[in-house]
A and B are shown apart, each in its own frame.
Chain A
């Protein structure tokens, strides 16, 4: 059938299984929005307050569902407003397709109104990007974008479409959705060699990251850990792969990870790293991390093998496929002596002190888990509250925790929560944030109100930019440069101003009451929790150090 470019975009989105897109209209994409209007029964559009919110929402939608998230923005500032969201998704390997409009092809390169070279700008923060210059290439390119975003190591793909291409017509033939999935060509060491090393290890340690979630290999990794009795830890991206309290789940690894997890890494004779990339927040000192260990690295991306840490045995492939093949080769055993040693480190793990007369972050997070149940989806912003959430939430499913790990994007959480709530209207979605982060993108409250999304925002309000403040206290002699903003924001009033509900709490009991009410609300709720500016994230290993340098107080 003969269609114009805008209708082709709509048809390809629907054909690829997309039912929801997040975006913001503008001059260069008026034609596309006209097609969305015609097709509003088939394709739901969520209008955000700002394109950054749309990008984060598409990202949160993708992380929570496992599907490719889609966002759309106009040319120029609309496109540049997506940049932080794209970089966030890129660093955390989130499958996303971003569509931007651009000025007509005859105006490209003339500094036309709202023209920007978004393909150039986003080259290093997308898995790939395209500019479509002929309507004949449009459907093919969009399908290719969906394929690239959601195959191999996932990532965001941007498709830039000049306005005249959205108006021009061509023949369109519907096609089935493109093939997606992690499958990757296997290379690297033999799994017999890997199994042999694991089977003969005396003190093995395993940690895993977002690659396990993307591959859907939760069961396989649990089976490996149990069969070989290997103490394990998660990176920020791997939270929820193993459940809270599960045997052999030591907790978070890295800078603010559990002491026992970091000790196990530093003393292991074999480290098995699965779907993770040895970032500087995990391997704080690349020459000392795992210095006693043979490192086995299983990842889908060949460029991750030996990138940050020299790997003894690198296996490239889809984590689920590799583990499935590896499991029968793994000997069942109990590692009594090693577990005893790990138990001694566990006994020294940092335990925060309760105090019901105020709000302690760990107690508030425990209350969130208790009151909202295991099915809750939690998003965060970035900083102290994010680390508390990573440490203390009772993670039970990898897709229930949405956080910007690689880029560390303050302002990520509200958009992500909106994306998740749109995907799962019947589940509870909680956005844990802080007064610092929340001020970055709290404008998205209007989106949550407009679309009836009862996202609960819990603000750990310490009146300082907490993580910066913590570092300035620890390493800069208490010179609190620009980290005590002295804001007068009345969150309850602002929430009401947006059409949401607001609560202000000073004690754990007040918080529990407010949160319980929030769970019943049909509109978004903000809970402003006063916490002490003295609260810091513990334990902590300073950059470049090891578990031996852990700070406990």
Chain B
């Protein structure tokens, strides 16, 4: 019960000024360990969704859920997992290449369903959209090469099937 694990949660909020500040302030105040956080609009005007990845034991994750839900602007918070939802994260990666390894890197990208977006003499920019764990693996594969810049968006998620958030 008290082993830390990573959990993804979707937070549905009223899109008022300062809502992101309120949520990040709460996380910082209560020392919740956040791995990633994404915010976007939804198909409902005035309502935004936030996807957070947090690490903690069951008590901490439960606290994160119940404390967040107390914020006036938070309408819902629910966990999502790889089993019941589609989790996706975008990676952009800049790698310094040379004549020897350019093909090899491009082929690793291709076999992992990543795309080479841009190619100059010395640099490749790779795009990958995948579940976060795949991106972790992909980055491990490229570790021996010269990665000069990386950005990851953090995961966003949508539940499979007809399940959606309540306040539609």
Contact = CB atoms under 8 A, between A and B. Distances in A.
State yes or no: do A and B come from one complex: yes
Interface of A: 119-120, 123-124, 127-128, 131, 148, 301-303, 305-307, 310
Contacts of A127: 72
Contacts of B70: 301, 303
Contact of A123 (B17, B25, B66): B25
Given A119-B18, A306-B59, A148 B72 contact: yes
A124 B67 CA distance: 12
Nearest to B66: A303
Interface residues of B, number: 16
A232 B18 CA distance: 44
A200 B42 CA distance: 52
B31 interface: no
Interface string B52-70: 0000000100110011011
B22 A123 contact: yes
Interface of B is mostly: helix
A127 B22 CA distance: 11
A305 B67 CA distance: 11
A307 B22 CA distance: 21
Contact of B67 (A148, A303, A310): A303
A120 B29 CA distance: 13
Contact of B21 (A123, A301, A303): A123
B62 A131 contact: no
B26 interface: yes
28 contacts: A119-B18, A120-B18, A120-B21, A123-B18, A123-B21, A123-B22, A123-B25, A124-B25, A124-B26, A124-B29, A127-B72, A128-B71, A128-B72, A131-B17, A148-B72, A301-B70, A302-B66, A302-B69, A303-B63, A303-B66, A303-B67, A303-B69, A303-B70, A305-B66, A306-B59, A306-B62, A307-B63, A310-B59
Interface in B6-21: 17-18, 21
Contacts of B63: 303, 307
A127 B26 CA distance: 12
A305 B70 CA distance: 13
A301 B22 CA distance: 19
Contacts of A120: 18, 21
A178 to B, nearest CB: 14
A61 to B, nearest CB: 24
Contacts of B59: 306, 310
A172 B138 CA distance: 61
Contacts of B71: 128
A83 to B, nearest CB: 15
Nearest to A155: B70
Interface string B70-90: 111000000000000000000
Contacts of B67: 303
A310 B21 CA distance: 30
Given A123-B18, A310-B59, 12 more contacts: A120-B18, A123-B22, A124-B25, A124-B29, A127-B72, A148-B72, A302-B66, A302-B69, A303-B63, A303-B66, A305-B66, A307-B63
B55 to A, nearest CB: 19
- Most A CB contacts (10 A, CB to CB) among B21, B29, B72 go to B72
A39 to B, nearest CB: 29
Contacts of B17: 131
Contacts of A124: 25-26, 29
- Most A CB contacts (10 A, CB to CB) among B29, B66, B67, B71 go to B66
A506 B138 CA distance: 79
Contacts of A306: 59, 62
Nearest to A124: B29
B136 to A, nearest CB: 32
B87 to A, nearest CB: 26
A305 B26 CA distance: 18
A406 to B, nearest CB: 14
A7 B21 CA distance: 31
A305 B17 CA distance: 30
Contacts of A302: 66, 69
Contacts of B29: 124
B46 to A, nearest CB: 14
A285 to B, nearest CB: 17
Nearest to A133: B17
A119 B73 CA distance: 14
Nearest to A304: B66
Report the 7 A-B pairs with minimum CB-CB distance, sorted nearest first: A303-B66, A128-B72, A124-B29, A302-B66, A303-B67, A123-B25, A124-B25
A119 B66 CA distance: 23
A474 to B, nearest CB: 30
Interface string B118-136: 0000000000000000000
A131 B18 CA distance: 10
